[in-house]
Amino acid sequence: MAMIKVENLVKTYQVIQKESGLFGYFKNLVKPKYKEFDAVKGINFSIEEGELVGYIGENGAGKSTTIKMLTGLLTPTSGEVIVNNLKPYKSRIENNKNIGAVFGQKTQLWWDLPVIESFRLIKKMYKIPEGEYRKNLKKFTEILELDELLEKQVKNLSLGQKMRCEIAAAFLHNPKIVYLDEPTIGLDVFVKENIRKFIKEINKEKNVTVILTTHDLKDIEDVCDRIILLDKGQIIYDGSKQKFKDTYGKYVIAEFTVKDKNLNINDNIRIDEIEILEETENQLKLKFKHEETTIVKVMEQISNYCKIEDIHMKEAELEDILKEIYKGAHKC
């Protein structure tokens, strides 16, 4: 039985269309003209218990709208959402007991009070048994390094400290599903790593399902097994992270440091199977596919025009692949 099942989900917003001029203003007051805007256009997916899913897409792709429908904050225009055998938009409060959520910068901690007070309130609200609460708190404190934070007032915490507490708060009641909407936005590398480690560990231990939306693809790379890629309200990829890379990213990016370049390669010469991404006086950034050529052949070709001093190679990362996909998507 799938934990989350989404079928032909559509969400259409009605936006009041503004008309210009004084006349238009009054006309709008009396009889506003609505324009329909499809934020989510009939998506399907199902997520099993314990999956770590990266839900990605550009700004305005419909990610937040989907999350809001999954949590029952929005009613679908058509289609069906079933979360843990419940329809969240019909039985929101029942559904709330099984989920945890972190929405970007909107805090659920009590601003003027020590962090631990907010945790205690959560314990009471969700009726977490004392033993379970202590166990979780101990574990979370350990991984997220909350020791010194618990007695501090929330307003005195830094962004990273606050977010760590926020994440702990979302997992405290052993939810079946946790929605993390941009949990690492604006955080430094160490905090990000800390949070990723936490998500992975808790997932392994409690088999909690995590839906993660983020613009930092390192998060996805590190945490998620599965990617759902959304573009303009439609799913354009849904499958494992590895398959995603294999399908779209079977290429290598190589950066050459060169000397004595006799002409501008990009403008003058077309080398087979190699795409030149960037070119400066002594830098060359190339892209080529594994199956079409090898690094040795590439070097041979390049050395016709310049002297190679240094090479730096890397496998295509998610970010590169995504850029490609978006470029492609925007062309058509």
Partner 1 sequence: MLKTMLALAKMQFNQYNIYKSNFYLWTLNRIIEVIVYIFVWQAIYNQTGDAGGFTINQLVTYYILTVSIRPIALFSINSDIAYSIRNGKINKELLNPISYFQYCFGVNLGEMAFALVIGIATFVICSVFWTIILPANLTSFILFLIVIMLGIPLTFFIEVIVGTVGFYSSSIWGMEILKDAIISIFSGIIAPIALFPMWFQKIANILPFKDLIYTPINIWLGQVPTNEIIFVILKQLIWTIILYVIAKIFFNYSIKKITINGG
* Candidate ranges 70-78, 144-152, 197-205, 234-242; the one touching partner 1 (CB under 8 A): 70-78
- The whole-angstrom separation of Cα 192 and Cα 186 is 9
Q: Tokens 């909107």 — which residue?
A: 106
Which amino acid, one-letter code, is at 255? E
Using rule CB under 8 A, residue 13 touches partner 1: yes
Burial class of 235 by CB neighbour count within 10 A (0 to 12, 13 to 18, 19+): buried
Q: Which stretches within 172-303 are classed as H helix? A: 189-206, 217-223, 241-248, 265-268, 295-303
Radius of gyration of the chain (CA): 25
* For partner 1, the closer CB: 77 or 301: 77
- The whole-angstrom separation of Cα 228 and Cα 219 is 14
- Residue 121 C-beta: closest distance to partner 1, Å: 5
Measuring CA to CA, which residue among 46, 101, 38, 48 is closest to residue 73? 101
Using rule CB under 8 A, residue 263 touches partner 1: no
How are the residues of the chain apportioned to helix, strand and coil, as percentages rounded to the nearest 5?
40, 30, 30
- Residue 163 C-beta: closest distance to partner 1, Å: 14
Q: Tokens 């998507």 — which residue?
A: 329
Using rule CB under 8 A, residue 326 touches partner 1: no
Using rule CB under 8 A, residue 305 touches partner 1: no
Question: Considering only residues 65, 66, 84, 184, which one is a binding residue for partner 1 as defined by CB under 8 A?
Answer: 65
* Candidate ranges 46-54, 98-106, 209-217, 324-332; the one touching partner 1 (CB under 8 A): 98-106
How long, in residues, is the chain? 332
- The whole-angstrom separation of Cα 158 and Cα 155 is 8
- The whole-angstrom separation of Cα 100 and Cα 171 is 6
- The whole-angstrom separation of Cα 102 and Cα 40 is 21
Cα separations (Å) of 193 from 143, 160, 207, 313, 316? 11, 11, 20, 24, 21
- Applying CB under 8 A, the site for partner 1 has a residue count of 34
* Candidate ranges 42-50, 120-128, 187-195, 207-215; the one touching partner 1 (CB under 8 A): 120-128
Using rule CB under 8 A, residue 121 touches partner 1: yes
Q: Which residues pair with 10 in a beta bridge?
A: 41, 78
Using rule CB under 8 A, residue 306 touches partner 1: no
* Candidate ranges 102-110, 156-164, 186-194, 284-292; the one touching partner 1 (CB under 8 A): 102-110
* For partner 1, the closer CB: 6 or 286: 6
Using rule CB under 8 A, residue 321 touches partner 1: no
Using rule CB under 8 A, residue 112 touches partner 1: yes
Interaction mask 143-162, partner 1, x per CB under 8 A: ----------x---------
* For partner 1, the closer CB: 113 or 311: 113
Residues 73-92 that bind partner 1 (CB under 8 A): 73-75, 89, 92
Using rule CB under 8 A, residue 117 touches partner 1: yes
- The whole-angstrom separation of Cα 157 and Cα 113 is 11
Which stretches of the chain bind partner 1, using CB under 8 A?
11, 13-14, 39, 65, 68, 71-75, 89, 92-93, 96-97, 99, 101, 103, 106-108, 110-113, 117-118, 120-121, 124-126, 153
